[in-house]
Structure 1
């Protein structure tokens, strides 16, 4: 399979690295297409043997799969200024937030579109991607796409495209929510007199341990919380503050606003 990545930013490059790592494609069959020519030299060192081009240079695109990884706000401009024609059998995989399949089909005048929403842990092969496809795409084509997506972590096929905006808000943006909470915990540690690196160690190891407990326990989240929060203890004091501040509601509303923004990006 020959793959071209239109907009080789962080997510596009993390996909490229995963495909190469698991030998799903050969280096010479990867084509990275970027906007900024000053990045060509660095990318050539990072991806030896692969083709690196700018948008303006592409007059014809020899690829079985074209991954669109530009910012959603830039997509219309990119689509209107593409100087190559898509071939009938070329597949499009969009990893842009918010832009619906119908709009991609219309702007590119091309029916074969799969839309996916990955998240940043794909950089480590530990991401999760929700994806869906346009009508007319065969089962074997979907399986080929899923094989690629699974090299970056896990993937889940969704029948209902509308759910992808929720996936964008939940897992696409999700890592930032955890970083935000972790940052607050580390800063609380520093305020209590714990040295910064030590505070980071305590918080990160706590997060890691909590993750494994969730994965390996038969208990639900309420039971796991109850195990830590003894009556009249320190954890209960913290949780009461969270409840009094409506922290859970604030977090939920933030995620719902992320979904709302994803819907707005389709224009």
Structure 2
């Protein structure tokens, strides 16, 4: 398989590294395409055996799969500057937030489109990606896409494309929500007189341990909370403050606003 990636940013390059790590593609069959001349040297050093091109120099793309990894706000300009037709059998995989399959098909005049929403832990091979596809794509073609996506973590196929905006808000943006909470906890530790590095250690290990408990316990989240929150204790005091300030509702509303923004990106 030959793969080309339009948009050699963090996500495009993390996908590339995963494909190569699991030997799903040979380095010489990877083509990385960027708009940024200043990035060419660094990308060439990271991927010495792969083809690196400037977007403006494209006359055609020799690839079975073309991954579009530009920012959604840049897609229309990117599409307008593609001055060639895609081959009938070429597959397009979009990892842009919000841009619907129909818009991609019309903008690129090409029908074989798969739309996916990964998240940043793909950088470590621990991401999760929701994906869906246009009509006319075979089971075998989808399985090839899934194999590639699974090299970056886990993937879930969605029949309903409308759900992908929710996936964008939930898991695509999700890591930032956790970083936000971790940052608040670390800063609370510093306010209590704990050294910053020590506060980071306590919070990060607490998050890691809590994740493993969620993943391995047969108890639901409410039961796990109650296991920590003894009556009249310290945890109960914190949870009381969270509830009085409607923290759960604030977080939920934020995620719903992220979904709303994802829908707006389609234009």
TM range (shorter): over 0.9
Question: What is the match of residue 219 of structure 2?
Answer: 219
| Contact 1:56/1:83 (8 A) holds in 2 | no
User: Residue by residue, what CA displacement relative to the aligned partner does 1:115-144 show, whole Å, maximum 9, x if unpaired?
Assistant: 000000000000000000000000000000
* CA distance, structure 2, for counterparts of residue 80 and residue 60 of structure 1: 14
Distance in 1 between the 2:191 and 2:84 partners? 57
Question: How far 1:84 moved relative to its partner?
Answer: 2.7
2:105 matched to which residue of 1? Answer: 105
- Contact 1:28–1:50 (Cα < 8 Å) also in 2: yes
Question: Quick one: distance in 2 between partners of 1:124 and 1:139?
Answer: 28
Q: Deviations over 1:48-86 (max 9, x none)?
A: 100000111110110000000000011011101112321
Alignment of 1:166-181 (within 5 A): 166-181=166-181
For residues 122 and 20 of structure 2, the distance between their equivalents in structure 1, rounded to whole angstroms, comes to 13
Quote how far apart the aligned CAs of 1:30 are: 0.4
Tell me the distance in 2 between the aligned counterparts of 1:70 and 1:217.
Answer: 39
Alpha-carbon distance between aligned partners in 1 of 2:153 and 2:210, rounded to the nearest angstrom: 20
1 CA distance for matches of 2:213 and 2:96?
33
- 8 Å contact from structure 1 (residues 131, 158) kept in 2: yes
| Equivalence for 2:238 | 238
Q: TM-score, length-normalised on structure 2?
A: 1.00
What is aligned with 1:58?
58
Runs of 4+ in structure 1 deviating by more than 3 angstroms, as ranges, are: none
For residue 148 of structure 2, what is the aligned residue in structure 1?
Answer: 148
| TM-score normalised per structure 1 | 1.00
Q: 8 Å contact 1:79–1:107 — kept in the other structure?
A: yes
Q: Could you say which residue in structure 2 is the equivalent of 1:159?
A: 159
> Residues of 2 paired with 1:199 and 1:229: CA distance?
21
Q: Which residue of 2 aligns with 1:119?
A: 119
CA distance in structure 2 between the aligned counterparts of 1:182 and 1:60, rounded to whole angstroms: 46
Residue segments in structure 1 that go unaligned for 5+ positions in a row: none
How far apart are 1:227 and its partner, in Å? 0.2
Equivalent pairs, count: 267
Cα offset for 1:38? 1.1
The offset of 1:251, in angstroms, is 0.1
Q: Distance in 1 between matches of 2:159 and 2:12?
A: 24
**Separation of aligned partners in 2, 1:69 and 1:233:** 49
Partner of 1:195 in structure 2?
Answer: 195
Calculate the aligned-residue CA RMSD, in Å. 0.4
Deviation at 1:37? 0.8
Q: Identify the residue that residue 2 of structure 2 maps to in structure 1.
A: 2
User: Which secondary structure state, in structure 1, belongs to the residue aligned with residue 132 of structure 2?
Assistant: strand
Report what 2:210 is aligned to.
210
Distance 1:222 1:125 in 2: 30
Q: Quote the Cα distance in structure 2 between the aligned partners of 1:133 and 1:123.
A: 24
Per the alignment, residue 258 of structure 1 pairs with 258
